[in-house]
Structure 1
Amino acid sequence: MTVVVGWTPDARGYAALVRGAREARAHGEDLLVVNATTGTAAVDDRFAAASDVTEVRTLLASLGIEAEVRQPVVRDVTEALLAVTEEVDASVLVIGIRHRSPVGKLIMGSTAQRILLDARCPVLAVKADDDTR
């Protein structure tokens, strides 16, 4: 089985990455890190630069974990992430979510909401301790 992490180069993404790495190590599973983009924006802050990917590999190596990192350019990020979980028969999908106001809790972000509603595997939603990263 495989732990899949939907990763973005921000505090939420790193929180999901660390938790996913711990889950993979605890259960002796592979770790697959997915950072996808639609490629439609000139600048996509959620799509990692090469230096961000190097930082991720260094962080995981310091934790003693090897991982595959994929950066697909896709039509729909949510659908692509869910397709990966099915492709690898994921045991869990780990995503980062932001802290929400009471109104924000009522109207969850579309990506997280679609993942929670449509995933065929368990989803672990992680909040970052510090949203300044």
Structure 2
Amino acid sequence: MTILIGYVPTPAGEAALTAGLAEAGRSGDEVVILNSPRRGSTVDPSLVGDTDALLARARDAGVAATIDQTDHGPDVVDTFEALVERSGARLVVLGLRRRSPVGKLVMGSDAQRLLLELSVPILAVKPGP
């Protein structure tokens, strides 16, 4: 089976990667790391991360991993759901960051939509203090 990890090089993304690799190591699953910009967006290369380092971390954890950096459309839920279907993922791992209630109201919450709408179980993790 496969575990899908949503990753950007932030504390929340690092927490998701760590938790996802640990779960894959326990269960013997492969990992797909989703690390891609929205289609048509201008993305700072530092937001994508060092793919060689990501693969090395997976290797060090004893986990087979691939990275998906395909540009995706404007709807993050559609992007995750399509990759869940393509990869046969049994679990999605997401990092969550703290946002104020006003920030959620004004900006919306992709994480909340993923939690409510994805068809597979989700492991949501927060970065440590």
**Unpaired runs of at least 5, structure 1:** none
Q: Could you tell me which residue of structure 1 aligns to residue 32 of structure 2? A: 32
Question: Is contact 1:8–1:46 with CA below 8 Å preserved after alignment?
Answer: no
Q: Post-superposition shift, 1:66?
A: 2.0
Separation of aligned partners in 2, 1:4 and 1:29: 10
Separation of aligned partners in 2, 1:63 and 1:112: 26
Q: How many percent identity over aligned positions?
A: 32
Q: Could you tell me which residue of structure 2 aligns to residue 60 of structure 1? A: 58
Q: Which moved more, 1:61-70 or 1:10-19?
A: 61-70
Question: Is contact 1:9–1:45 with CA below 8 Å preserved after alignment?
Answer: no
Q: Which stretches of structure 1, 4 residues or more, deviate above 3 A after TM superposition? A: 44-47, 104-109
Separation of aligned partners in 1, 2:6 and 2:78: 12
Q: Could you tell me which residue of structure 1 aligns to residue 18 of structure 2? A: 18
RMSD: 2.3
Give the TM-score normalised by the residue count of structure 1.
0.82
Query: Structure 2 matches for 1:69-84, cutoff 5 A?
Result: 69-76=67-74, 77-84=76-83
Separation of aligned partners in 1, 2:46 and 2:91: 21
Give the TM-score normalised by the residue count of structure 2.
0.84
| Paired residue secondary structure (1:98) | coil
| Paired residue secondary structure (2:90) | strand
**Unpaired runs of at least 5, structure 2:** none
Q: Per the alignment, do residues 113 and 55 of structure 1 end up closer, same or farther by CA in structure 2, a change over 3 Å counting? A: same
Q: Post-superposition shift, 1:44?
A: 4.4
| Paired residue secondary structure (2:55) | helix
Query: Structure 2 matches for 1:1-133, cutoff 5 A?
Result: 1-44=1-44, 47-49=47-49, 52-76=50-74, 77-101=76-100, 103=101, 107=105, 109-130=108-129
Paired letter, 2:92: L
Q: Per the alignment, do residues 66 and 73 of structure 1 end up closer, same or farther by CA in structure 2, a change over 3 Å counting? A: same
Question: Is contact 1:86–1:120 with CA below 8 Å preserved after alignment?
Answer: no
